Amino acid sequence: DAMVIQNPRYQVTQFGKPVTLSCSQTLNHNVMYWYQQKSSQAPKLLFHYYDKDFNNEADTPDNFQSRRPNTSFCFLDIRSPGLGDAAMYLCATSRVPAWGPRVNEQYFGPGTRLTVT
Amino acid sequence: DQQVKQNSPSLSVQEGRISILNCDYTNSMFDYFLWYKKYPAEGPTFLISISSIKDKNEDGRFTVFLNKSAKHLSLHIVPSQPGDSAVYFCAALRKKTSYDKVIFGPGTSLSVIP
């Protein structure tokens, strides 16, 4: 089945130690998103890639970076994790045409739960 | 500033009865509203959407109602089934040139009691 895969499902890192989360998709979607979800809060969009074009949300801290080496893979890099970065990180994909009014459904991976010690 | 609000963190309903999940929003510029459903250890999955120019959309047991003057929408599940027990996220969408910006609410945890 076509899907969005996130590895690892659980990640523990130390305060200040760089960490990378990965996401892959078999849907061949052109847009990939990273969301941060803290406990009992709404998922919050960090950034997205439209094909190879990276688009940061205005309030995403500089500590968060992303790479998309090809259509299938996207990485979230946290350069110096703080205790406040402990959260669930969700990757999502969608196919966005250049035109058309319909909703482009986003497909989510299961998430990576990041713990910072 | 929370643009999408779900004021009920949890809801319990008897099997076979109606579940009503509520959502309020603050920005009148949203193009669509969506509901996502999330089971434990899984990512959210799209459930149903409604355009901002409509007031009702129905898909099987699920109906979404939109009241633009009140900036309020609701999801009705009839009849509720135990498999509907999940966290439901209300979301609002603005269509951009290259992506859909989706703003989520914090979710309501629905428990359907057999």
**Residue B26: both structure tokens together:** 């603050």
Q: Do A45 and B43 touch (CB under 8 A)?
A: no
Question: Hey, is the C-beta of B11 within 8 angstroms of any chain A C-beta?
Answer: no
For chain A, which residues lie within 8 Å of any Cβ of chain B, measuring from their own Cβ?
A: 4, 31, 33, 40-45, 48, 50, 53, 55, 90, 92, 94, 96, 98, 101, 103-111
pLDDT of res. A46: 96
Model pLDDT for residues B13-54, shown as the tens digit of each residue:
999 999 999 999 998 889 899 999 999 989 999 999 999 999
Contact check, Cβ <8 Å, B9/A43: no
Is residue B70 pLDDT above 60, yes or no?
yes
Residue A98 has pLDDT above 60, yes or no: no
Q: How confident is the model at residue A102 (pLDDT cuts 50, 70, 90)?
A: low
Question: A46 to chain B nearest CA, in Å?
Answer: 11
pLDDT at residue A44, as a whole number = 94
pLDDT computed for residue B44 by the predictor = 94
pLDDT band at A95 (very low <50, low <70, confident <90, very high): confident
The set of residues, in sequence order, having a beta carbon less than 8 Å from that of A91 and lying 6+ positions away, is A4, A6, A21, A23, A25, A32, A33, A34, A35, A74, A76, A108, A109, A111
What DSSP string describes B18-80? -EEEEEEE--TT-SEEEEEEE-TTS--EEEEEEETT-SEEEETTEEEEEETTTTEEEEEESS-
Contacts of A44 (CB under 8 A, 6+ apart): A35, A36, A37, B104
Give the number of C-alpha atoms closer than 13 A to the C-alpha of residue A7, restricted to the C-beta side: 4
Asked whether residue A90 carries a pLDDT value surpassing 90, the answer given is: yes
